[in-house]
Amino acid sequence: MPEELIIAQGLTKEEKYKSLLPQIRALIGEEPDLIANLANLASALKYGMNFFWVGFYLVKDDELVLGPFQGPVACTRIEKGKGVCGKAWETGDTQIVPNVDEFPGHIACSSESKSEIVIPVFKDGEVRLVLDVDSNELDTFDQTDQRYLQEILKFL
Ligand code: SME
């Protein structure tokens, strides 16, 4: 496991992901504890990519419950189908939201959040958790984020 994340400056988004990928793989390594891995992943993405908010919501009974995150405090529970996270859970599809004000039912945990990506993570054919990344700028996320974040989530 690396002692500390190496975060190069002045890279493109894709270069940043490429530099982070092997570091995150090493960080998770053979560690089996999900919460420990989610906690490190939230930190690695927050500081490695300089995102505004990075965190996980875990499926518990019939709700999403806040898990490890980095950034301002957030809502603790989200119903299925509600907000961007609830929609990703319900549909099983990644949600890329360029402008949260235009997403019907968006749940505003922070007034500073402007755009968002939510990626569901499956186990045994069911969504077990979602990764939620928020930006304080409009239109931050695209297919590049989706592709690399999905790669990273495979390490879990
Ligand atoms: N905006 C999310 C809620 C979680 S916060 O952004 C951390 C949503 O609409 O599901």
**In sequence order, what are the residues at sequence separation of 6 or more whose Cβ sits closer than 8 angstroms to the Cβ of residue 124?**
none
Has this prediction a pTM greater than 0.85? yes
The residue extents of the domains of the chain are: 13-153
**Which of 76, 82, 101, 134, when mutated, tests ligand 1's pocket best, judged by the most ligand atoms within 8 Å of its CB?**
134
Atom 6, ligand 1: which residue's CA is nearest?
109
User: Angle at Cα 131 formed by Cα 73 and Cα 110, nearest 5°?
Assistant: 30
Beta bridge partners of 135: 115
Paired residues of 115 in beta bridges: 135
Using CB distances shorter than 6 Å, the residues near ligand 1 are 53, 74-75, 78, 83-86, 106-107, 109, 113, 116, 132, 134
pLDDT in tens, the chain (156 residues): 557 888 878 899 999 999 999 999 999 999 999 999 999 999 999 999 999 999 999 999 999 999 999 999 999 999 999 999 999 999 999 999 999 999 999 999 899 999 999 999 999 999 999 999 999 999 999 999 999 999 999 999
Domain 13-153 belongs to what architecture?
2-Layer Sandwich (3.30)
Q: Give the tokens for residue 104.
A: 């019907």
Ligand 1 centroid vs 30 CA: distance in angstroms? 30
Instruction: Identify the pLDDT of residue 2.
Output: 59
